[in-house]
Amino acid sequence: MVEITRCALRIHADPKNRRLRTPRSLDTSSEEVFEVAQSWMKDCKCGDFWKEPGERFYPKRLLDLEQLRGANGITDIDSLTILSEHGDVERKKVYLIETDEVFVQRSIGATELSMKVWDSKKKNKSVRKEQKNHRYVTLSHCWGKPKSVQGQLRLDETTKERFKREGIELRELPKTFRDAILFACRLDKVGFIWIDSMCIIQPTESYSNRSKESVKDWLEQSRTMDQIYRGSFLNISATAAVDGDQGLFFSRRPEYLWEDEINVNYSGTNLFGSEKIGSTERDQLTRCTVIDVSFWDELVENAAVNRRGWVLQERLMAPRVLHFCRDQIAWECAEFEDAEGHPEMNLTLRAKLGSIVDEGRLKDLTPEAGRTLRNNRLNGFPDPDKDMTDLYIYELWKHIVEVYSRTQLTVSSDKLIALSGIARRFCEGNSKLFTLPNKYIAGLWSQNLESQLLWQVNELFRDGVFENPARRDATRAPSFSWASIDTPHGVTYPDVTDYKPEETSERRTRAHNQPKELMLEVLKHRIKLSDEDNKFGMVVQGRLLLKPRYLRRIELRRLHPPLRVPYSWRLKPDASTSEVVQTTSKAARPLENANLYLDAPESDVDIFFDDAELYCMPVAYGERTVRESSRYLYCLLLKLEKHVEFDPEANASNKRRVGLSPPTQYPMFRRIGITKLSNHLDKDAQNALMSEDNKLEICLD
């Protein structure tokens, strides 16, 4: 049974010009499906740069498909599944090439590429040829669980020379790779494919024991990952396959893809611009198609491959993506989305709080797309930050982080580097998105940084209990960054704002009673990179120097059933106040506050120790996208760790200079969560927090 809230009706404005959906093939490897894919590639102009002569980017390594393209029947078949099991084809080889060694020049004509190839004795690459199949494609896929990956052929220091000289028989590869290679061979002028595990040197044993050469190669390739996908003719996505053994193609029931159409008589209902009762000018019956608005999410967004962290970058950077789903194929590019089962439909519709909204395309990284996302959130409310520079670019980043934070990574340390290509797209290159200079700070941006500290880990309310299975990895990102957290429910990125006053009648009448909206200033930031050549990649350490207006000692409590909330906090009594922040007897008596969201309570176990020194630091009133009277006071919850120098490396170089005073030691805190205090119910708690000013500067690690 289909829930009515998931469905919408699409009225056919001109049924005569509409393409009917009547697929008949029993497998997605069929010629019928291939022709649909070809029609999308023809309609899309995002790959037209391959038709233009000039300088071309190629990855460091590629798999050369030229021998396989010459196999009998490769371009004239009924089923790629049948072909992949054909003995003659299974023994055909693909060769690993190093493009710096093989390509004579990077500047190509519109139809040919000059290459050096091995001579007949495989001794040297002295033979030159002109290759018409000069395009390359990429592959997005799930590696699978460790057991399924073990034993799979891949590029490492022991196989590199063999792949180059002797080649790789098709039958040696996992099924997903075989299917992708065979599909690529049928595409016009495609002579190469890039697959991560076959083109980046992999560790011979485990990722924790990489050789120096493997680490060097991986860092080098990760810096250009966005270019690799952005330069591809097509990204082939094994969207439904959970590992390399499942392949691209699946059997299906084609009748399930046929259209669900109904005739609707809505005259006189004043809906959809209907005619008045009694009108005879139009036929009272209107042909409509029933659309499942959760269709795209179930088919693509929540599919196996798109739960993998690296793939979001691959999807966004590639000019176009062809998804091989469970029972059909689907298409994504910057111009349109389409699916075999919903041709020419609006696939960006979503059900949100009982309404149908158009969320736009994930691959549409334009200010207009950011405006759409923000207007959907505002839902008609006047935008308080409408004049802020790059407002809609921040909205795009917010959306990307929220999608990315729900994905998974096999290697935890990849959290920032798997997003680095997207971050680079925002602030570098001819097509950069930000108009103002903006420095990347471990998943956040230097402009308007204060507001970006208010991200929140999402919880799930199930069976009367709030669940938060999030875990923290302090080795890959500082605590003030959302990138330090792994959670299946994702994070909510905050409204990015400069906190400039809003010119509203409500503010004008209340301004003299309201404190300044922002209660925190970021004085300095310091990021130590793992790879100095990639400022968007992994970090060794991150630190902020802050000047908070208020900072109060608190104590945290676990709550137990029948209470539905798991934790609460209250101000620490004066007698136990730490020397870091002095308080007076004027403070209000402790009040219990249960509206808090801990970042990772299952891994931050030390915050529940009796000797834990915890603090509450008010930051700002929010959210900005609601009425002022409905906003909360947003505060960060912190744990005092120790006293440190803000920049010990800079101070070490200054120690040689005579007469300098010792470097300043700052109290260093770790973020542990966020709390919200209502302007109505929690007014006493707000007053208590802000009853006295803080004089100290602090570090947030």
Choice among 281-285, 427-431, 505-509 with the minimum mean pLDDT: 505-509
Query: Is the pLDDT score of 540 beyond 50?
Result: yes
Could you tell me which residues come within 8 angstroms of residue 652 by beta carbon, excluding any fewer than 6 positions away? none
The pLDDT value recorded for residue 637 is 98
pLDDT in tens, 117-157: 666 565 555 556 677 889 999 999 998 875 556 678 999 99
Could you tell me if residue 14 is inside a domain? no
The pLDDT value recorded for residue 160 is 93
521 shares a domain with 582: yes
390 shares a domain with 247: no
432 shares a domain with 312: no
The pLDDT value recorded for residue 203 is 83
376 shares a domain with 332: no
Could you tell me if residue 26 is inside a domain? no
The pLDDT value recorded for residue 155 is 94
Band (463; pLDDT cuts 50, 70, 90): confident
The pLDDT value recorded for residue 74 is 67
382 shares a domain with 335: no
3-class SS of residue 387: coil
Could you tell me if residue 377 is inside a domain? yes
Domain containing 611 equals 365-700
Q: What six digits make up the tokens of 170?
A: 């098709």
462 shares a domain with 328: no
331 shares a domain with 240: yes
108 shares a domain with 223: yes
* Rounded Cα gap, residues 20 and 116, in angstroms: 48
Tokens 């970042």 correspond to: 599
Could you tell me if residue 348 is inside a domain? no
Please give the residue that has the higher pLDDT: either 117 or 534: 534
174 shares a domain with 314: yes
Q: How many Cα neighbours within 13 Å face the side chain of 96?
A: 22
The pLDDT value recorded for residue 583 is 45
Could you tell me if residue 120 is inside a domain? yes
The pLDDT value recorded for residue 305 is 96
Centre a 10 Å sphere on the Cβ of residue 698 and count the other Cβ atoms it contains. 23
Could you tell me if residue 496 is inside a domain? yes
Cα separation values, 167 from 63, 93, 155, 207, 329, Å: 9, 6, 12, 25, 31
694 shares a domain with 657: yes
pLDDT in tens, 629-639: 888 999 999 99
411 shares a domain with 314: no
pLDDT in tens, 5-32: 466 656 555 554 455 567 889 999 999 9
Could you tell me if residue 291 is inside a domain? no
Say if CB 312 and CB 422 are below 8 A apart. yes
Band (324; pLDDT cuts 50, 70, 90): very high
The pLDDT value recorded for residue 354 is 67
Q: Kindly report the average pLDDT of the chain as a whole number.
A: 84
The tally of domains found in the chain comes to 2
E strand or H helix at 678 = strand 666-678
The pLDDT value recorded for residue 355 is 74
Q: Could you say which DSSP state residue 415 is in?
A: T
Rounded to a whole number, what is the largest CA-CA distance in the chain?
Answer: 97
pLDDT in tens, 474-524: 999 999 999 999 999 999 999 999 988 765 544 434 444 444 789 999 999
303 shares a domain with 180: yes
Band (394; pLDDT cuts 50, 70, 90): very high
Could you tell me if residue 672 is inside a domain? yes
